[in-house]
Structure 1
Amino acid sequence: MSNYDTMITRQRKYMFYLLAILVLGAGFTPYPRIFLGLLLGSLISFYNLWLLQRKINNLADAVEEKRSVRGIGTLSRLTAVALAVVVALRYEDYFHTIAVLIGLMTSYLVILIDFVMSKSKE
């Protein structure tokens, strides 16, 4: 398994742990609206992370085979973010809008933490 594959596996595992913590927070704390907002944003963020990793793999395969590739899916990732914001605005009784926006950034936080942890081991 290459370094990239192990990095992808680690990042997905961290995101699953974070999602599990957010589910517990939504179920057992007196702030379910905030945790549901974080959960919605983090789910979309996880989807975007998975989509980006898949597109990067396709790009690497295309470079190896010397063929062109359409792109890395920016429009589809932005559409998912817009959908999360629309859902949060439509159902404000269930989702805290600012928490959704913070949740959308969690995959970048996971990538940063993974990078720092991997560099500190070297």
Structure 2
Amino acid sequence: MEDLHYIFTKQKKVLFFLLALCVLGWAFTPYASIFAGIGLGAFFGTYNFWILVRRMDKFDRSVSEGRKASSLGTALRFGSGVAAVAIAMSLPEHFHLISTVIGLMLPYIFLVIERIVHLAKQH
């Protein structure tokens, strides 16, 4: 489980860098709504990943103590994704919908890339 916390710590660092790039893109390019959508989606995507890490901790403790394991918070993460899309749809002049959806998936894309790099370093 410490490995998941390490990955989440790296994800937060990447998120702050990505959000800084989104702010620069929002301020200095004509694609402000696209960068705002990516930032919004990445924020909610990282929140979803944080929920997953917390629920995995609870799940791991429950299994190790022999108790019944609780859910992994799928409904909460799904609701968070719906909230991000609802914000983008209700404010289309500020947030681009497709870039918001892409931003929602960025933490998971970073997770896959990080695992590929980790496996490549081991071999």
Give the partner amino acid of 1:6: Y
In 1, the alpha carbon distance for the partners of 2:93 and 2:3 equals 43
Q: Is the 8 A contact 2:34 2:96 kept in 1?
A: yes
* Alignment pair present for 1:105 and 2:105: yes
The runs of 5 or more residues in structure 1 that have no matched partner are: none
In 2, the alpha carbon distance for the partners of 1:53 and 1:2 equals 10
In 2, the alpha carbon distance for the partners of 1:5 and 1:102 equals 24
Q: Write the mapping of 1:68-87 to structure 2, written as runs, cut at 5 A.
A: 68-87=68-87
Q: Is the 8 A contact 2:5 2:53 kept in 1?
A: no
**Residues 5 and 89 of structure 1, relative CA distance in 2, 3 Å threshold:** closer
Deviation track 1:7-43 (CA, whole Å, cap 9, x = no partner) reads: 2322222222222222222122221110001111111
The runs of 5 or more residues in structure 2 that have no matched partner are: none
Q: Is the 8 A contact 1:49 1:107 kept in 2?
A: yes
Give the corresponding residue for 2:33. 33
In 1, the alpha carbon distance for the partners of 2:66 and 2:86 equals 40
In 2, the alpha carbon distance for the partners of 1:70 and 1:103 equals 28
Give the corresponding residue for 1:44. 44
- Computed over aligned residues only, the root mean square deviation of the Cα atoms, in angstroms, reads 1.6
Calculate the TM-score normalised by the size of structure 1.
0.91
**Residues 4 and 101 of structure 1, relative CA distance in 2, 3 Å threshold:** closer
How many residues are treated as equivalent by the alignment?
A: 122
In 2, the alpha carbon distance for the partners of 1:100 and 1:116 equals 25
Calculate the TM-score normalised by the size of structure 2.
0.90
Q: Percent identity?
A: 36
Give the partner amino acid of 1:86: A
